[in-house]
Amino acid sequence: MTVTRMRGRATGPVIPDERWQRLLQQRAADPTAVASAYAARRRPERILNERGTLFLVAADHPARGALASGSDAMAMADRRSLLARLVEALEHPDVDGVLGTPDVVEELLLLGALEDKVVIGSMNRGGLDGATWTMDDRFTGYDAASIAANRLEGGKMLLRIDDRDAGTAGTLEGCADAVSELAGHGLMAMVEPLPYYRQSDGRLTLLRDTPSLARAITVASGLGTTSAHTWLKMPSCDDPAAVFAATTLPCVVLGGVPSPDPAQDLASWGQALTQPTVRGLVVGRALLYPPDGDVRAAVDAAAAVLRAAHPEEDR
């Protein structure tokens, strides 16, 4: 599907009116279209591309109530704009696929945007952004059975670790079960282990120091009855050589909350991407909502960083 481009308040790509109305009609009048789209999707031959890397765009933020990007608190609340941005990113030849919740994945399927693409289903989004229970990352999205039945390539789970929050134990158990169940289907389990500290005023801080991140990796690596299909999704950091040396499992670098300086984000990702265990990028808002609205250019820049980090695998 081709998107058009507009300028103004809704800077960025736009889904044409006719295609948008058709999607809304399918949603209202033909719920069976979703199952048909899952069944008909042409799957990729493998997870890694011919360069031995993986580049995904992430779109599971809205299901956790995280709608802001930059100064726009409602950026991801505009579903038509979000889908248009995702479609444009997925049309880029270097983007291998998407990570999303069922609603977003199904809309992209109905738009015809996921042919030959890797699709990773997001599994736990219960820890709503800003809620008093935000660290309770219980499973509210895809489960292993639906990921397998719908012919997706794997499932992703968020594992936020706070040593002072006993609720972390339940998330650990839920993630371990999901890892085992996905492995039972021969599917990727992408675990995102993030160490957090709660300040005295209640604010949560992501810990990016080397000991905390390395510890989170070792905890996530041991989840489930086998690690044969486990991947790790980790933030960039100051000492990636030490952090990513904590595992032999394949890793991807997460984009996280975009900084005001896209060049700074790219440099940070590039440093992590050179590590032997790191295979690719999973980026959401930083690519979908660049300051200038040019999604294609933002994806181009990230793809160039990934290619530069793996030149020996480029054909």
Domains of the chain in sequence order? 12-313 (3.20.20.70)
Taking a C-beta distance cutoff of 8 angstroms, is the pair 133, 64 a contact?
no
| 121-157 pLDDT, tens digit each | 999 999 999 999 999 999 999 999 999 999 999 999 9
Of 91, 143, 141, nearest in space to 117 by CA: 91
Provide mean pLDDT across the span 265-275: 90
Q: Facing residues of 6 across strands? A: 12
Partners of 205 in the β-ladder: 197
Q: What is the pLDDT of residue 70?
A: 87
Q: Which of 189, 184, 177 is nearest to 230 (CA)?
A: 189
- Three-state helix/strand/coil letters over 62-82: HHHCCCCECCECCHHHCHHHH
Give 307: exposed, middle or buried? Use CB within 10 Å, 0-12, 13-18, 19+: middle
pTM value? 0.94
Backbone angles phi, psi at 220, to 5 degrees: -65, -35
The one-letter amino acid code at 75 reads A
- Measured between alpha carbons, how far is 307 from 94 in angstroms, rounded to an integer? 9
Q: How confident is the model at residue 71, as a pLDDT?
A: 87
Residue 257 has pLDDT above 90, yes or no: no
- Using an 8 Å Cβ cutoff, are 137 and 171 in contact? yes
Neighbours of 239 (CB within 10 A): 15
For 46, residues 6+ apart whose C-beta sits below 8 A from its C-beta are none
- 59-111: per-residue pLDDT in tens? 999 999 999 998 899 999 999 999 999 999 999 999 999 999 999 999 999 99
- 216 Cβ neighbours under 8 A, 6+ residues apart: 159, 161, 193, 194, 195, 234
Strand 54-59 relative to strand 154-161: parallel, antiparallel, unpaired? unpaired
